Amino acid sequence: MSSLDFSSRKGKPIVVVGSLNMDLVMRTPRVPAGGETLHGHEFSTLPGGKGANQAVACARLGARVSMIGQVGNDGFGTTLREGLIADGIDVTGVRQTTEVGTGVAMILVEDIGQNRIVLAAGANGALTPQAIDSHAGMIEGAALLVLQLEVPMPVVEHAIGMAHAAGVPVLLNPGPAAPLPENLWTKIDFLVPNESEASLLSGIEVVDVPSAFAAARVLRQRGVKYVLITLGENGVVVVSDAGENHLPANVVKAVDTTAAGDTFIGGLSAGLIEGMGLLDAVALGQRASAVCVTRRGAQPSIPYRRELKPAV
C-alpha cells in the first residue's frame, strides 16, 4: 500500500495547528470513588497538550516542524514555548496572549498505566480563525497539516479549508471526540481516531478489530482517503482504496499511556513526509508509541528516532 506522494513537498515542514497545555499529573493507585480521598504517589508539572505533543513527536522522530497555537502570557506559557524551541520547533505561530491563561490538563495516572484527563482550555479555547489567517503562508507551504480538536472547531475548519485549497495534505486526529462538520470530510486525507472517537463519528461501537474495520468503512464512505483507527494494545487498522490492513501492536509493559496516541501520529507523519509507504509509516508510529508507554508523562515520554528499535 502506498501513501500520498509527498515528493513535491520534500524539505517543507509539518505544520501543527493545535493545543498547548501544562499537564498537572498525579499518580494514584486507582481512581477514587465519589467523595473519596486517596493518597497519591507523586505530583509533577509537565508540558503537554495534544497539539504540542504531536509537534514534539514529529520533531523528535525526524521531521521539520512549525506550530500554530496560543498560550497565556504567564509562566506556564513561557515554559511551553521554550520547550518547543528546545526541540527545534518553529514557534513563530505560537502567540502569548494577555487575555486568558495557558490551558491546563489535570491528569490522574493509575498504577496499571491508564490515565484520566480533564481539560481547562484557557488560551487554546480563545484561538481564532483570524490567528490562522496571520500564518496562512506557513500552512500553504507545509508538507502536511496536522490538527486535533482541543482548539475551537471554527479554527480547525478554517485551517483545513486553507490547506485543502493549497493542495496541502491534511491529517486530523479527532480528539477529544466530537462530531465533525459535514463540509470537512472530503478535505481530510488522513483521519486517525482512537476507539471512542471512531465510535462517536461512525455510530458503530468499536470494541475489537472487526468492529474497527466496520467503523473505518463508514468513515471512508464520507470521503476520507485514509482511515487509521488506533486500538491501543490491539494495534491499528488501516482502510483505504488500496485495501484493509491490521497491524498488531508491539508488546511492551505499559506504565503510562499519556501521549501514546500523539507519539503514534508523530511517527506516522514523519514517516509519510520522508516518502515511506503508509504501512511502513504506521509501523514507525507504533514503534515510537511502544517506547512512549514505558515512560511517564506526556512530552517527557516521547522518544527520539535514535531510541527506536530497528524495524523488523
- The CA distances from residue 133 to 139, 155, 195, in Å, are 9, 10, 33
Residue 98 inside a domain? The answer is yes
Q: Is the pTM of this model over 0.75?
A: yes
Structural domains in the chain (count): 1
Residue 215 inside a domain? The answer is yes
Average pLDDT over residues 289-304: 88
CA–CA separation, 264 and 243 (whole Å):
21
Q: What is the pLDDT of residues 251-295, one digit of tens each?
A: 888 877 778 999 999 999 999 999 999 999 999 999 999 999 888
Residue 115 inside a domain? The answer is no
**Cell 473505518 found at:** 216
Q: Is 311 exposed, middle or buried (0-12, 13-18, 19+ CB in 10 A)?
A: exposed
Residue 75 inside a domain? The answer is yes
Domain limits at 131? 7-20+49-102+122-301
In a 13 Å sphere around the CA of 217, the CA atoms on its Cβ side amount to 10
- The CA distances from residue 37 to 29, 31, 33, 34, 166, in Å, are 12, 10, 8, 9, 53
Q: What is the pLDDT of residues 61-115, one digit of tens each?
A: 999 999 999 999 999 999 999 999 999 999 999 999 999 999 998 989 888 878 8
CA–CA separation, 75 and 101 (whole Å):
10
Contacts of 197 (CB under 8 A, 6+ apart): 174, 175, 176, 177
- The CA distances from residue 91 to 12, 20, 152, 154, in Å, are 16, 12, 20, 22
Selecting among 23, 90, 189, 262, the annotated active-site residue is: 262
Residue 310 inside a domain? The answer is no
Q: Is 110 exposed, middle or buried (0-12, 13-18, 19+ CB in 10 A)?
A: middle
Residue 309 inside a domain? The answer is no
Q: What is the CATH number of the domain that holds 288?
A: 3.40.1190.20
Average pLDDT, the chain: 94
Q: Is 262 a catalytic residue?
A: yes
Residue 25 inside a domain? The answer is no
Q: What is the dihedral of CA 166, 263, 62, 190, to 10 degrees?
A: -30
Residue 30 inside a domain? The answer is no
CA–CA separation, 170 and 186 (whole Å):
10
